[in-house]
Structure 1
Amino acid sequence: MSKIKQQAISGILWNGLRLIINVGSSFVIKLVLARVLFPEEFGVVGMAVVFTGFVQVLNDLGIGSALIQKKEEKLRSAHFHTAFWFGVGWALFMYLVVSVVVAPFAAVFYGEPILKSLIPVLGLGILSSPVNLVHKAQLTKSMNFKKIAIIDNTSNLSAGVLSLILAFAGAGVWSLAFNAVASIVIAMPQYFLATGWRPKCVVEKAAFKDVFGFGIYTTGTNITNYLIGNVDYLLIGKLLSAHALGAYTFAFILTNTFRGKLMAVINTVLYPLYSRIQDNPAALKKYYLKTVEYNSIAIFPIMVFLIAFADSIILPVFGSKWVDAMNPLKILSLSVMVHMMVNSNTALIRGMGRPGLEMKLQLVKAVIFLPLLYLGISYFGITGAAFAILLNKVIAVGIAQYTFKYLLSLKVSTGEFFDAVKYPWLASIVAYAVVNVMVTYASMHYAIAAFLLFGTYGAVIYMFLGGELKAQLKEVRELKKM
């Protein structure tokens, strides 16, 4: 087995463990908070996060991506020290902007006075995240995902437990705010210990140009991605209400948040991998298509489960206060399935050293998406927002195929792309149809039907891909012995 493949499999294993623990714990914590708190409280935090999250995107400036993408022989210690000090200085400036300008503006924009004090608290993550930036980039570049997984799991679990304590103590919206910030702060000393790296008083103009020259395109892409991913929160909070935004946030937590966590984990492995093999189009194509296939295999049954059983499970467990979230939840689940078909394309384009192209593509998507979203919310509320997102994902698949066929050296044909996802889609359709028939005509209990759904899905996948998956499992076992 090649060294790169070993590192890729090891990275996916550790990041898979990280995904299971992080998503599992975060999912459970958010569900418990949903049981204790009200949609309005989720909505107020959603309003605040729209603004603090945007500033967080500006805060990164693509520095971490630039350090990872830069080839080893061209990377000097001055790049790391310069990136660290510039990041910290920029973070201090951005936190001042958040506290003095953004918080009062958001309070007036939404008509929610609590945002004036809530946003500066959420903004504490802006101060701490650049301190972790260089350390995380070093671990990612060396593909040492074991340490990253340990740090993330420890910090997220600790923050989650503390936020639950606050929620049951009656802290309300502040328990959600603490959960959003604490993990970054808790991770800080762990990253210093993990890398052993210490910043020195070195700031070099040439190093800054190297890092920022790449990072500015990445930042442009991240800003566009953020606007596409969060403008729905902004418009729902403004045009509708905190209650509507809370219901929509709940649906988003169960669907796109899970997908986003998976994307972060997988792309953390793939980005440095793509960077290493950026001069080998055949290898890039192979890894990309397999990533699309395996991502879909993993996520599709969860989304089909939500589509099939949202009404049967969510309402009895969390109460009628979340009834408005049901239709958006089903639509967003389908949108996640479509999105998995282009899940790692941005990491691929960036890893190939084409951040400018990545940014242009995201701008095109934004121009198409924003009018759709505004019309959807204006006429159909949060259900219209969910439909706009679904349509946007379908358009994104088309744009991705045009890009791979005509704008990149990979030349991934439409046939090759759909060949990579045909079995997860087939398994999903068969599983949903079988369960729908059993529930509708045989009055099967939803708990038994849920097992039937996952069992049917697994059987179809095994029928067509069993041999391949066994071979991959064998390679994983060989890796563990090394």
Structure 2
Amino acid sequence: MEDRQDAEPGQPDAAASHVGEIGRQAGRGLRWSVLGNLAVRAGSFAVSLVLARLLVPEDFGVYAIAMAASQFVIHINDAGIIAATVQWRGRLEDMAPTATIVAIVSSTALYGVFWVIAPYFAQASGSEDATWVIRVLSATNLVYGLTAVRSAALLRRFEQDKLTKANLAGFLVNAPVSIVLAAGGAGAFSFAWGQLCGAVVTGVLVVVYARVRIKFGLDRAIARKLLVFGLPLCVSLGIEGLLLNADYVIVGDVLGLTLLGFYLLAFNISSWVPGLIGTAVRYVALPSFSRLAEENEESLSLGVQRAVPLLISIVLPVAVLLGTLSPSVVVFLYGERWAPSAEVLRFLAILMVVRMLTALAFDILAAMGATKATVWLNLGWAVVLVPALMIGARVDGIRGAAIGHAVVAVLVALPLATLALHRAGAVLAPIATALVRPLLGGALAAIVMLTLAQVVHRAPLIQLCVAGGAGLLVFIFVVVPQAVLRKLGGRVTELIPVRSR
């Protein structure tokens, strides 16, 4: 970073100043990321409401199988090149030609592999009809491979505004294509073709916005550095892809497409916040913590100590609402026929919080260069998760699978993430004190919501407004400092016109 003052260890003021400077740059990028994600997620939500009425649960089940394959590929698609580019310590122009070659070769080879194994993957997941849906949807990863270095360049420069515009343009193509195809009877293909068309538009704009000269070349020394950093990260991301999508395969195989469709809907609802806030955070977390890691461990630790409580304070109230009022959420948004998804959502709300925290830990470890630690983190999680999902699905259906996911996340994933950060050198002890108020606020909000939900036996919307609204207010009053509340109250008062008598 230009014009910066190096913070020496033992100088808290310098470390805090540097963290603040990085925070301001990251804050601008985060605002744009949140704004763009909010628009895309709101639009995706509206589209999902339409598609839920045009399609049947079996179509959602087929799409879930295709998405499991596609999401697994996307996690390992670029051989870790995006992360390696973001944290590259030298000039971007020197490594871009080599990085571009590596990303394209990796994504093309993986697509070829999944084209061949698509029929076997579909059959193992319980639906041979998913074969061509997998092939179409996985083609989006070819686009991501072609544009990986350009996307990383935008993230590296904190130009999330341009990346946001590209994603919005892609969604504006994705939405009408999906709806028109669904209305025409295309079934699960409506999802796949919509996403592919949107990805192409986004990719073209990313290349234009990035302003990185398209040049191909292979420098073996640079390629070696990229792969030494990226391959462990690629393996870890592949395991993360397994973590996020193993339940689709297991539920589809054990319980069938209809129940998988209900499970997918609940999982999609639980993914709103990770998709909105989590994706935005990941756009800025890696470049931010990479710059802090360039300075010293004290600056990075201070950044971690500020980020974790803030993230929990944002995510926890939403998780409490989804967990306590899941029947009202599902029925109000999607109708009575999707009610079986509610019991799944209760437990996936817990998973949502853990996913946000482990994703942040993953980016911090990658920024510190501890990519091997991310492998052990995700591998330990996956080894316990897969049998837990199998047992849960067989014992208690989709509800059992969700319970298995939540229990393993809390008892295995969180401790492993904490241990990995500690071993990497991050000082975590001050975080415990900062979490007291959010956890207390979450507990009180849950009690209020559950109590009022028993009292208000009316339409789902009324229950959400009364019980959910009261619980969220309790959380705010407990967690947000009184000085901040008074300041906000004063500003609101200033905006209210007062008539002079």
TM over 0.5: same fold?
A: yes
Higher mean Cα deviation, 201-210 or 349-358? Answer: 201-210
User: Which residue pairs with 1:305 in the alignment?
Assistant: 321
The 1:311–1:108 alpha-carbon spacing in structure 2 relative to 1, beyond 3 Å, is closer
Check if 1:401 corresponds to 2:436. Answer: no
Residue 276 (structure 1) shift: 0.9
User: Which residue pairs with 2:11 in the alignment?
Assistant: none
What's the secondary structure of 1:403's corresponding residue?
helix
CA distance in 2: counterparts of 1:468 and 1:130, whole angstroms? 49
Per-residue displacement from partner, 1:156-209 (whole Å, max 9, x unpaired)?
233123312322333321212223323321111111221222322322222211
CA distance in 2: counterparts of 1:442 and 1:201, whole angstroms? 64
Q: Tell me the amino acid that sits aligned with residue 37 of structure 1.
A: L
CA contact (8 A) 2:331 2:338 kept: yes
Residue 325 (structure 1) shift: 1.1
User: Which residue pairs with 1:31 in the alignment?
Assistant: 49
CA distance in 1: counterparts of 2:330 and 2:383, whole angstroms? 35
**Match for residue 253 of structure 1 among 268, 277, 291:** 268
User: Which residue pairs with 1:462 in the alignment?
Assistant: 480
What's the secondary structure of 1:12's corresponding residue?
helix
Check if 1:182 corresponds to 2:197. Answer: yes
Check if 1:314 corresponds to 2:327. Answer: no
Q: Tell me the amino acid that sits aligned with residue 194 of structure 1.
A: Y
The 1:168–1:454 alpha-carbon spacing in structure 2 relative to 1, beyond 3 Å, is farther
User: Which residue pairs with 1:480 in the alignment?
Assistant: none
Higher mean Cα deviation, 418-427 or 387-396? Answer: 418-427
CA distance in 1: counterparts of 2:336 and 2:211, whole angstroms? 51
CA distance in 2: counterparts of 1:159 and 1:175, whole angstroms? 10
CA contact (8 A) 2:78 2:102 kept: no
CA distance in 1: counterparts of 2:388 and 2:262, whole angstroms? 20
What's the secondary structure of 1:60's corresponding residue?
coil
Residue 28 (structure 1) shift: 2.4
Q: Tell me the amino acid that sits aligned with residue 418 of structure 1.
A: A
CA distance in 2: counterparts of 1:392 and 1:465, whole angstroms? 39
Check if 1:451 corresponds to 2:469. Answer: yes
Residue 211 (structure 1) shift: 1.1
User: Which residue pairs with 2:309 in the alignment?
Assistant: 293
Segments of 5+ residues of structure 1 without an aligned counterpart are 474-482
Residue 443 (structure 1) shift: 5.2
CA contact (8 A) 2:452 2:466 kept: no
The 1:419–1:161 alpha-carbon spacing in structure 2 relative to 1, beyond 3 Å, is farther
User: Which residue pairs with 2:439 in the alignment?
Assistant: 425
CA distance in 2: counterparts of 1:165 and 1:287, whole angstroms? 46
Check if 1:41 corresponds to 2:56. Answer: no
What's the secondary structure of 1:277's corresponding residue?
helix
Check if 1:439 corresponds to 2:453. Answer: yes
CA distance in 1: counterparts of 2:216 and 2:210, whole angstroms? 18
Check if 1:280 corresponds to 2:296. Answer: yes
Check if 1:67 corresponds to 2:85. Answer: yes
Higher mean Cα deviation, 312-321 or 166-175? Answer: 312-321
5 Å matches for 1:387-398?
387-394=403-410, 395-398=412-415
Residue 317 (structure 1) shift: 4.4
Q: Tell me the amino acid that sits aligned with residue 362 of structure 1.
A: N
Residue 432 (structure 1) shift: 2.5
User: Which residue pairs with 2:250 in the alignment?
Assistant: 235
The 1:194–1:367 alpha-carbon spacing in structure 2 relative to 1, beyond 3 Å, is same
CA contact (8 A) 1:373 1:388 kept: yes
CA distance in 1: counterparts of 2:436 and 2:192, whole angstroms? 41
Q: Tell me the amino acid that sits aligned with residue 334 of structure 1.
A: I
CA distance in 1: counterparts of 2:343 and 2:176, whole angstroms? 31
**Match for residue 345 of structure 1 among 361, 368, 371:** 361
**Match for residue 219 of structure 1 among 231, 234, 241:** 234
User: Which residue pairs with 1:267 in the alignment?
Assistant: 282
User: Which residue pairs with 1:129 in the alignment?
Assistant: 144
CA distance in 2: counterparts of 1:104 and 1:375, whole angstroms? 26
CA contact (8 A) 2:327 2:343 kept: no
Higher mean Cα deviation, 269-278 or 290-299? Answer: 290-299
Q: Tell me the amino acid that sits aligned with residue 284 of structure 1.
A: L
Higher mean Cα deviation, 139-148 or 160-169? Answer: 160-169
Residue 131 (structure 1) shift: 1.5
**Match for residue 80 of structure 1 among 89, 96, 111:** 96
User: Which residue pairs with 2:223 in the alignment?
Assistant: 208
CA contact (8 A) 2:137 2:193 kept: yes
Per-residue displacement from partner, 1:226-262 (whole Å, max 9, x unpaired)?
1122111111111110111111110000003532442
Check if 1:103 corresponds to 2:121. Answer: no
Q: Tell me the amino acid that sits aligned with residue 421 of structure 2.
A: F
CA contact (8 A) 1:159 1:179 kept: yes
- Percent identity between the aligned chains? 24
TM-score (normalizing by structure 1): 0.90
CA contact (8 A) 2:78 2:104 kept: no
CA distance in 2: counterparts of 1:464 and 1:290, whole angstroms? 19
Q: Tell me the amino acid that sits aligned with residue 431 of structure 1.
A: A
CA distance in 2: counterparts of 1:341 and 1:356, whole angstroms? 18
The total of aligned residue pairs comes to: 465
Residue 266 (structure 1) shift: 0.3
Per-residue displacement from partner, 1:377-398 (whole Å, max 9, x unpaired)?
2211211111111112212222
CA distance in 2: counterparts of 1:451 and 1:241, whole angstroms? 37
5 Å matches for 1:115-126?
115-126=130-141
Q: Tell me the amino acid that sits aligned with residue 365 of structure 1.
A: W
The 1:296–1:205 alpha-carbon spacing in structure 2 relative to 1, beyond 3 Å, is same
Q: Tell me the amino acid that sits aligned with residue 268 of structure 2.
A: I
Higher mean Cα deviation, 288-297 or 208-217? Answer: 288-297
Residue 338 (structure 1) shift: 4.2
The 1:442–1:324 alpha-carbon spacing in structure 2 relative to 1, beyond 3 Å, is closer
The 1:327–1:213 alpha-carbon spacing in structure 2 relative to 1, beyond 3 Å, is same
CA distance in 1: counterparts of 2:212 and 2:486, whole angstroms? 41
Segments of 5+ residues of structure 2 without an aligned counterpart are 1-16, 492-501
CA distance in 1: counterparts of 2:190 and 2:92, whole angstroms? 42
TM-score (normalizing by structure 2): 0.86
Residue 309 (structure 1) shift: 2.5
Residue 353 (structure 1) shift: 0.9
Higher mean Cα deviation, 175-184 or 208-217? Answer: 175-184
CA distance in 1: counterparts of 2:407 and 2:126, whole angstroms? 31
**Match for residue 390 of structure 2 among 350, 374, 377:** 374
CA distance in 1: counterparts of 2:108 and 2:358, whole angstroms? 35
CA contact (8 A) 2:312 2:353 kept: yes
CA contact (8 A) 2:365 2:421 kept: no
Residue 354 (structure 1) shift: 0.8
CA distance in 2: counterparts of 1:297 and 1:149, whole angstroms? 25
Q: Tell me the amino acid that sits aligned with residue 222 of structure 2.
A: A
